[in-house]
């Protein structure tokens, strides 16, 4: 696990690469990539200097593999979780038959009425296992897990994408495909 100093850096990178690159005057390209040299330069200029070694350790060792390096190693983007509009250009993929979504009990009535919506993010996030979904849900309060009939959704024409870190993404989940566990 990362030491607290690097957890803080990971959260800062999530803010910049998922939500508010303008905080340090950075612009992401259409696919969400930041030029690493520019990221380091602008973070330093904004009073949040990042050591290259620390960046490399956060990319390699953060618990959810949140950040993806480009093949040439020059650019970095968040694997998922964006609120800022980006086209990740992930290929549509057939998901496992069943996926899971963890949420807080207080959202349950609304979700069962109107389905899962991406809220502030670009996609609804789904997990392959119940334990991960419970962790995700507990970030919001008392956790509850919903099973998602991904096979039926795909048969109905919904598309699924898998982020580089394994998280499954889809635009929304209509209520008929949800079942509380």
Q: Could you list the residues that contact ligand HQG (CB under 6 A)?
A: 64, 66, 81, 103-104, 107, 110-111, 114, 116-117, 119-121, 125, 136, 139-140, 167
* Helical residues (DSSP H) of the chain, grouped into ranges: 4-14, 36-45, 52-61, 108-114, 130-138, 150-155
Closest separation between CB of residue 30 and ligand HQG, Å?
22
Alpha-carbon span 158 to 93, nearest angstrom:
11
Closest separation between CB of residue 171 and ligand HQG, Å?
12
Toward ligand HQG, which CB reaches closer, 65 or 159?
Answer: 65
Toward ligand HQG, which CB reaches closer, 26 or 136?
Answer: 136
- Give 58-88 as a DSSP string: HHHH-TT--EEE-TTSSEEEESS---S----
Toward ligand HQG, which CB reaches closer, 64 or 159?
Answer: 64
Which helix (H) or strand (E) segment is 125 a member of?
strand 124-126
CA angle 181, 167, 153 (to 5 degrees): 60
Toward ligand HQG, which CB reaches closer, 75 or 123?
Answer: 123
Closest separation between CB of residue 55 and ligand HQG, Å?
17
Sheet with 98-104, strands from edge to edge, namely 98-104, 143-149, 178-180
Closest separation between CB of residue 112 and ligand HQG, Å?
9
Q: Which two tokens stand for residue 112?
A: 């069962």
Closest separation between CB of residue 41 and ligand HQG, Å?
25
Toward ligand HQG, which CB reaches closer, 98 or 121?
Answer: 121
Q: Which two tokens stand for residue 140?
A: 């919001």
- Which position's Cβ is nearest ligand HQG? 103
């Amino acid at each position: 696990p990362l030491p607290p100093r690097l957890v803080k850096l990971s959260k800062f990178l999530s803010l910049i690469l998922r939500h508010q690159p303008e905080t340090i005057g950075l612009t992401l390209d259409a696919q969400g990539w930041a030029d690493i040299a520019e990221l380091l330069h602008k973070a330093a200029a904004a009073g949040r200097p990042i050591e290259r070694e620390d960046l490399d350790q956060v990319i390699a060792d953060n618990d959810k593999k949140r950040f993806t390096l480009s093949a040439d190693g020059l650019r970095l983007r968040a694997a998922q979780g964006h609120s800022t509009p980006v086209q990740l250009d992930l290929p549509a993929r057939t998901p496992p038959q069943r996926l899971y979504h963890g949420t807080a009990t207080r959202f349950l009535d609304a979700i069962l009425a109107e389905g899962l919506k991406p809220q502030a993010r670009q996609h609804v996030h789904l997990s392959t296992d119940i334990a991960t979904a419970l962790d995700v849900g507990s970030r919001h309060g008392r956790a509850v897990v919903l099973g998602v009939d991904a096979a039926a959704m795909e048969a109905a024409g919904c598309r699924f994408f898998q982020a580089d870190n394994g998280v499954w993404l889809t635009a929304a989940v209509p209520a008929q495909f949800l079942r509380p566990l």
